[in-house]
Chain A
Amino acid sequence: MDVALVKPTTERATRELFAAARDRLPGSGPVSEARQAAFDDFARRGLPYRRIEEWKYTDLRTLLREIAPLAATPDQAALARAAKAVVARDAKGAYKLVLVDGVFAPQLSDQTPETGVEVRALRNILENNDVAARADLLITTAASDTMISLNTALATDGVVIDVAENLNLSRPLHIVHITTQSSTAAFTRSLLRLANGAHATLIESFVAAEGAAAYQAHDSVVLWIGDGAELQHVRLVEDAHDAANISTAIVTIGAKARFNSLNLTCGAAVSRYQGFIKFGGEGSHADVNGVNLLNGHQHGDTTLVLDHAVPHCSSNEVFRAVLDDQAHSVFQGKIIVQPDAQKTDGKMMTRALLLSDGAEADNKPELEIFADDVTCGHGATVGALDESLLFYLRARGLSEKEAQALLIQAFVGEAVESVADDGLRDVVIEAAERWLAARG
């Protein structure tokens, strides 16, 4: 098939890339074996393209073309530029954990003095052979996806956070990804483990240092939520407008646990956020929301797979896309109800707002149900701003742009309001307002 036609050049290029990166990748023995296996998987399948059903609307062979060379370890100048970017994106009161060009930067990060919270750099764990559990930090069986394989092969660093049993973390953890080098790629892998009964908030931001352009951020995060634990998760993708962001979240939720997640994408020329969320224990609930605010020629893809593997769990997904100019938004949501997962309640709602005739919204809300005593539903709408609402606001003296901004805020608000914490919600709303302000 056409795989064979495309593969040779790409494969050679990525093999060279992997060989060149080899000595910069931490870990030996089982770790490097796991990397090699993951890389072979990627090399065999190549970049995903439209014939791969999960990537139907996001053809990385045309959008990304190739994997950029690995970013160099940041020098002092790079760290100084990164420091400036951190200040601009500071979430108030959070413990900052900063990754610059795929490398953990302790000098820019906050200490987490609370007892029961342990933060370590992935690189240190992988390099330190005394510590148990190394290769399994990279291996994930949750999903078979080439981009996860590539991330496993090339992850240079990340943060590994452990929160002890029943600990209620007083301040959010904020992982800040900053890229300072143009035309390079950074690969990061982070883990957060909430022990039973723990409560925490995790923010992830993706930003560019001033002047960084055309880079690629490849991230994956593995979240373990213990029994009775609660995680509030917020992602803000504000990468440079010509950058690419390919991210994966792999979430496993224990019994009687809560997972509340919101992804906001307004940056990057090409972005893909894929969440694989699995219920591992009964009586849990997940809110998985997303917002794409795109303009220009941006392409933003949010793909969520919710796996109801056990009975008595509920999930709710709310997705909103606002598209201007020639932007292209993709939402793929899949709810799987496994054969014994009775009493599942799964809801999904996706709505897209097209502000310009060149914009495109593709929705694929999927249900895959193998149990009968369930309630599942999904809805999808696509449309323009309501003319009569605009007229109402214009009649009250608002300019066209102001009226649009107000309606867009309300439209997006439905997804954002699930964020329970006021301060955190403001952080998200500020990001949305920055996008609206940039619209002019």
Chain B
Amino acid sequence: MAAVQETVDRVRQIDVDQYRYGFETIIESEKAPKGLSEDTIRFISAKKNEPEWMLEWRLEAYRRWLTMQEPTWARVDYPKIDYQDLYYYAAPKPKKEISSLDEIDPEILKTYEKLGIPLREVEALEGVVRPEGERKVAVDAVFDSVSVATTFQEELKKAGVIFMPISHAIQQHPELVKQYLGSVVPTSDNFFATLNSAVFSDGSFVYVPPGVRCPMELSTYFRINERNTGQFERTLIIADKGSYVSYLEGCTAPQRDENQLHAAVVELVALDDAEIKYSTVQNWYPGNSEGKGGIYNFVTKRGDCRGAHSKISWTQVETGSAITWKYPSCILRGDNSRGEFYSIAISNGYQQVDSGTKMLHLGKNTTSRIISKGIAAGKSQNTYRGLVTAHRKAANARNFTACDSLLIGDKCGAHTVPYIEAKNTSALFEHEATTSKISEDVLFYCVQRGLSQEEAVGLVVNGFVRDVLQQLPMEFAVEAQKLISISLEGSVG
């Protein structure tokens, strides 16, 4: 009897507790009128107090967008999005000009507390001496369309690192923004990126000056709160010559029955000898067990290894979103540059994931590595789509790709669509992919040693994704590991 009850409890728990971040924060907010038009863009631009050139840039993107068609090549299926039925801008209503963290709406601070993100630099403020070697993380929190707080400003300023909402950067560092914004993902790049260029509201901006190793991890937490709102953030990271920065990104959203659109653009620029490490834990609301609701995550992420000996590394743990459509890519332009892509994509319920990477080898002696682990459970579809290409002049280009898929249950699908294009004799490309299910023998072995079926699956899955987890910064690795076990709950049995 007890065992039966336990099972029942567990199942019930899964339904309710599966998505821990599904709460909604009730705060007053200010929105742009529903729908998209030049007026909406002028409204957003005016709200942000933007200079004329920025507005022009947006309008140009918007006019371009009107001529574009929504892409249909990905293996995802969703009802047509009515772009006129969305709010393109929502901001917590400011009570007055904010000069310090204390003045931020306590509701928002509470939200971040619930998410486990310490926005208030409590320890730092109170002068607590931190143990030697403990790592600090500077956080930029984006709530719907605006950035609410950026921590550790003083310390970053000392190092010369600029870390601020992109809306502030447009005001304070227009020369940097003008030079780099849209230089990796041009406004005309693709349907969703162009839409983002027209209506993006906020996001993070990072500039690391030459020779500086950013003293702490930088982190942005994105939170969609408002109903019927699209979130369009834009992130721009520039690592100047010989610098290093590690950047983390996390995302959550309330549980809602309707689908919400998230179309972000991330641009990374690494100059000579610079290195950027970009980690994402994507945990948008994936929809309920019937596939209702959830976020459409249509994201364009691209890094440009512009300088010689530069390096860009993408690490992503994708567990959320109803639909994921994202391909973090590396343009290996500089000689001897290196691109890396480590990914864990987990889909459960009715989630659809179409994700992968592009490695474009243009410079000499460029190397890239792709490790992708896809896990499909429930009734989900999980696709890896990747491109590796070597230009005629990319002498000695090297790539290694391993993409493995794990299927849990017989109602899900796992697909692999790699494109491998070599136009150079000295290019050496290796690609391998496997698809399998968790071996019964291994599960039996674990269960026999006293683990429950779920624990056994968790153990095997953690082993399966270990290569990627190792690439995550420590704080994130723990969180990611927890996420993985939560995402897979209810997939066995």
Chain A residues within CB distance 8 Å of chain B: 53, 339, 342, 352, 354-384
Contact = CB atoms under 8 A, between A and B. Distances in A.
B26 interface: no
A359 B425 contact: yes
A369 B405 contact: yes
A163 to B, nearest CB: 36
A428 to B, nearest CB: 26
B436 A374 contact: yes
Interface residues on B, range: 20 to 34
A380 B73 contact: no
Given A354-B424, A360-B422, A382-B428, 19 more contacts: A53-B73, A339-B410, A354-B425, A357-B425, A360-B421, A362-B419, A363-B418, A364-B417, A364-B418, A367-B415, A369-B405, A371-B410, A372-B407, A372-B408, A374-B436, A377-B432, A377-B433, A378-B433, A381-B430
Contacts of B435: 367, 369, 374-377
Contacts of A378: 416, 431-433
Nearest to A56: B419
B420 interface: yes
B392 A364 contact: no
Contact of B426 (A361, A370, A372, A384): A384
Given A363-B420, A364-B420, A376 B413 contact: no
B258 to A, nearest CB: 29
The prevalent SS among residues of A at the interface is strand
A381 B344 CA distance: 23
Given A364-B420, A367-B414, A355 B432 contact: no
The prevalent SS among residues of B at the interface is strand
B434 interface: yes
A380 B420 contact: yes
A352 B416 CA distance: 20
A439 to B, nearest CB: 16
B114 interface: no
Contact of A362 (B409, B420, B425, B426): B420
Interface of B: 73, 392, 405, 407-437
A238 B297 CA distance: 49
A376 B419 CA distance: 18
A365 B415 contact: no
A369 B429 contact: no
B421 A381 contact: no
Q: Which among B420, B427, B428 has the greatest number of chain A C-beta atoms within 10 A?
A: B420
A363 B423 CA distance: 12
B401 to A, nearest CB: 8
A369 B414 contact: yes
A381 B417 contact: no
Contacts of A382: 420, 422, 427-429
B372 to A, nearest CB: 13
A251 B472 CA distance: 47
A370 B420 contact: no
A344 to B, nearest CB: 10
A295 to B, nearest CB: 14
A373 B410 contact: yes
B397 to A, nearest CB: 10
B45 to A, nearest CB: 33
Contacts of A364: 417-420
A379 B422 contact: no
B64 to A, nearest CB: 17
Contacts of A360: 421-423
Contacts of B426: 357, 384
A381 B437 contact: no
Contacts, number: 115
Contacts of B405: 367, 369
A342 B411 CA distance: 12
Nearest to B416: A367
A358 B424 CA distance: 7
21 contacts: A354-B425, A357-B426, A358-B392, A362-B421, A365-B416, A365-B418, A367-B433, A368-B415, A369-B414, A372-B410, A374-B435, A375-B434, A376-B434, A376-B436, A378-B432, A380-B418, A380-B432, A382-B420, A382-B427, A382-B428, A382-B429
Given A364-B419, A374-B436, A379 B431 contact: yes
A381 B420 CA distance: 9
B394 to A, nearest CB: 11
B382 to A, nearest CB: 10
Contacts of B408: 372
Nearest to A357: B425
Complex A-B, nearest 4 residue pairs according to Cβ-Cβ distance, in ascending order: A372-B407, A380-B431, A382-B422, A363-B420
Contacts of B424: 354, 357
B436 A375 contact: yes
Contacts of A369: 405, 407, 413-415, 435
A352 B422 contact: yes
B344 to A, nearest CB: 18
Given A360-B423, A379-B433, A382-B429, A372 B412 contact: yes
Nearest to B387: A364
Contacts of A362: 419-422
Contacts of A383: 427-429
Contact of B422 (A355, A361, A366, A371): A361
A370 B405 CA distance: 12
Q: Which among A355, A358, A372, A383 has the greatest number of chain B C-beta atoms within 10 A?
A: A372
Nearest to B384: A367
Contacts of A371: 407, 410
B140 to A, nearest CB: 39
A363 B431 CA distance: 10
B434 A377 contact: yes
A342 B413 contact: no
A373 B437 contact: yes
Contacts of A361: 420-422
A261 B437 CA distance: 29
A262 B191 CA distance: 43
Nearest to A380: B431
A381 to B, nearest CB: 5
Contacts of B412: 370, 372
Contacts of B392: 357-358
Contacts of B420: 361-365, 380, 382
A368 B413 contact: yes
Contacts of A363: 418-421, 431
A359 to B, nearest CB: 7
A339 B376 CA distance: 14
Nearest to A57: B421
Given A379-B433, A381-B429, A354 B413 contact: no
A348 to B, nearest CB: 9
A373 B439 CA distance: 9
Nearest to A368: B415
Nearest to A347: B434
A380 B437 contact: no
A366 B421 CA distance: 14
A364 B430 CA distance: 13
A356 B427 CA distance: 11
A365 B429 CA distance: 14
A413 to B, nearest CB: 21
Contacts of B434: 375-377
Contacts of B430: 379-381
A358 B425 CA distance: 8
Nearest to A51: B73
A358 B431 CA distance: 22
A354 B427 contact: yes
Nearest to B401: A380
A379 B432 contact: yes
